[in-house]
Amino acid sequence: MKLNYMKRRFQLGLLLSLILLLLTGCWSSKEIEDLGLVVGTSLDLEKDSTSRVETEGQEASYSSKELFTITNQFVTSETTGSGAKDGKKQLKAYKNVSETGDAILPTLRNMILKNDKRAFAEHSKVIVLGEDFASAFNLTQTMDFFLRELEMRPSALLLIAKNHASNILESNEPAKIPAFQLVEMMKGHKRTTKILPPMTFAKLEGKLYSGASFLLQSVVSENEEIKFVGAAVIEGKTKKLRGFLTGKELEGITWITGKGKGGLIASFYDETDQPIIYEVISMKSKITPHVDGNNISFNLKIESEGRIAEHWVLSEKTFDNKFLKKAEKATEKEVERLVKSVLEKIQHEYQTDVSEFGTRLRIEYPKVWKKAKKDWDQIFSEVPIQCEVKITIKDYGTSGE
C-alpha cells in the first residue's frame, strides 16, 4: 500500500510539473515526456579488467584500468502512465539501463547511445555500491561526481550491496519501483535497531573528509526480493569496504551509540528458559574516556526504558515486581552480550572505530586526540572498554490489569 501511494504521488508530481511548465511557458523548459527521471543508480566492479569499452569520439578499445558497470533506474511517462500495460501483461514500472566504463561521467554519457530519454537526476533517491566495487575503489574518488553534480539531491541515500548492486534495482513485482522501496524500508530505523539511520549525501561528504571509519547500511537481493542485512564497515584511511557486520552486531553498535529510536531485545527467563521480549521506548549511552599517561580506556554506560511486549513465562505474573526485576536483568545480560560481541569484531578483527569512541576522546581530551588521530583505528583496537547496562521496565501492557 505504501509503495502504491508513493507511485501515485510520483505520477501526480509528474502531472503538476507538466502543468507548471505549460502555465509558465518557460523558454528553457524540458518536456516531461522527453525526460527519463533517474530514481536510482548502482555501481558494480567488472571482473574482467580488459573489457572492451567505447568512449566518445573513439573506436572501441580494450582498457587496462579496472572497469565498472553503472545501472540507472529510470521512471518515464511510459512506465508510470497508461503505457504501463501491454495487453494483459503488466509492464515494469521502471526501466534499467547499464553501461560499462572506467570513469563515472563518460560512462553515464554513453547511455545516450542506447536510451531515447534525456536523463534527469533531480529525483534520484538512492545509490547502491556493489561489494566488489566498494572494496576496490576509494569512496572519495568514486563519489566525487555525485557530490559535485548539481542535479543530485543531498537527500539521496548511499547503500552497500552484498554481491551485485544491480540486483538490488530489480523486482519480481512489476508495480514496484525498487529505488522507492529502499527509501521506504530505510524509514524502519525508527522501529528496529537492525537498520542504520539514513546516510544521505549531505552527511556523506563530512564522513569522507573526517578521516574516521563509519558504517553504511548493507542490503542483499535474494530471488529479486531485497532485504536489509547488517552494515558495511568503511575504513577511515582507505575509504574502502573493510567488511560487514551482521544484524545482531549492528544492534550492538546501536546500543553503544544510543541512537536507536525503537527496537526489541529477546532474552530468556533464567528459571524456565522461556522468551521475554523487551521493546525499547528510549535509549541513551554515555562514553567516558580516561587518560592516564599514554594509557587510554573507556567506560560505556547504557540506559534504556521500555516495556514487556511479550513473554512466555506462564509461572509468573507480568506486573509482579520480582518478575520485572528478573526480566530487567535478563535483558541487561543480552544487551551486554550484543555490545561485547560487536566490540570484539570491530576492535580485534576489523580494527576500525565505527562506534564514536574517538569522537568522545576528541571532545574531552583534544590534545591527546591530536596525537592519536593519525593512528586511531590501530590504537582503538587495543584500548580496554568497560560496559554497564541499566534497563528499566516502565510498562507491561494491559496484561494482568
Confidence (pLDDT) at 381: 95
pTM of the model: 0.84
Mean pLDDT of 224-237: 94
Question: Is residue 343 within 8 Å of residue 385, measured between CB atoms?
Answer: yes
Cα(233)–Cα(236) distance, integer angstroms: 9
**Domain extents for the chain?**
2-49+65-83+91-245, 252-395
pLDDT higher than threshold 90 for residue 233: yes
Q: Which has more confidence, 20 or 218?
A: 218
Confidence (pLDDT) at 300: 98
Mean pLDDT of 20-39: 60
pLDDT digits (tens, 9 = 90+) for 356-385: 999 999 999 999 999 999 999 999 999 999
pLDDT higher than threshold 50 for residue 82: no
Q: Which has more confidence, 84 or 46?
A: 46
The residue with cell 523548459 is 29
For every residue of 301-330, DSSP letters joined together read EEEEEEEEEEE--TTS-TT-HHHHHHHHHH
Average pLDDT, the chain: 86
pLDDT digits (tens, 9 = 90+) for 326-349: 999 999 999 999 999 999 999 999
Mean pLDDT of 178-206: 93
Confidence (pLDDT) at 78: 65
Q: How far is CA 224 from the centre of its chain?
A: 19
> Closest Cα to residue 177, out of 310, 39, 301?
39
**Residue 35's pLDDT band (boundaries 50, 70, 90)?**
confident
Sign of CA dihedral 357, 358, 359, 362: positive
Sign of CA dihedral 358, 127, 43, 54: negative
At the topology level of CATH, where does 252-395 sit? GMP Synthetase; Chain A, domain 3 (3.30.300)
> Closest Cα to residue 68, out of 17, 107, 23?
107
Please give the single-letter amino acid code of residue 377: D
> Closest Cα to residue 182, out of 204, 162, 203, 198?
198
Confidence (pLDDT) at 290: 97
Q: How far is CA 355 from CA 9, 252, 295, 393, in A?
A: 38, 10, 20, 26
Cα(162)–Cα(131) distance, integer angstroms: 5
Cα(350)–Cα(22) distance, integer angstroms: 56
> Closest Cα to residue 264, out of 191, 358, 346?
191
Q: Kindly give the interhelix angle for 247-257 and 321-344, rounded to the nearest 10 degrees.
A: 110
**Residue 32's pLDDT band (boundaries 50, 70, 90)?**
low
pLDDT digits (tens, 9 = 90+) for 104-155: 999 988 988 887 777 777 888 999 999 999 999 999 999 999 888 877 888 9
pLDDT higher than threshold 90 for residue 79: no
